[in-house]
Amino acid sequence: MKQLVAICFLMLLSSCNIRSSYQHMPYDGRQVSIDIRTLKEAAPAFYSVIIEGKRINFFVVLLNGEVSSYFDACNECYKKKRGYRWDEGSMICKTCNVRFPFDKLDTGIGGCYPIRIRGSRKGDAYILDKEAIEAGLKYF
């Protein structure tokens, strides 16, 4: 019986985890480079960089051959520092549970939409420059 209680308790703890799994990216003070070949279609990849002692979280999405990137934060809920999760082609705010389809992320402004990070594609690399990344400091 004690084992069953312990297992249930561990399952409860793991189901309450609100953090996504972030891959730490090297940041040389100028840019972050992501190999596009590692991205999966319609599945966000979560990354983080450390700037000025703060961990900046973001995600990158490959959709129909196009790459886009967003801070793991929005203008409304960023103070709670919970970010987003993804499910069936959508990003979902972990604070207010609002769903945003991948194909609508670029058209959303304000509210609970993920905050866009401008990046550029150079061959097989997706580049986020210093100004774009450091604009996210205030959200983390």
**Is the pLDDT score of 12 beyond 70?**
no
Which domain CATH number covers 105? 2.102.10.10
Number of domains in the chain: 1
User: Considering the domain boundaries, does residue 11 fall inside one?
Assistant: no
pTM over 0.85: no
| pLDDT value at residue 15 | 41
What's the pLDDT tens digit per position in 55-87? 999 999 999 999 999 999 999 999 999 999 999
Q: Which helix (H) or strand (E) holds 47?
A: strand 45-51
Q: Which helix (H) or strand (E) holds 100?
A: strand 99-101
User: Considering the domain boundaries, does residue 125 fall inside one?
Assistant: yes
User: Does the CA dihedral 59-61-66-70 come out positive or negative?
Assistant: negative
Range of the domain at 109: 19-139
Q: What percent of the chain stands above pLDDT 90?
A: 78
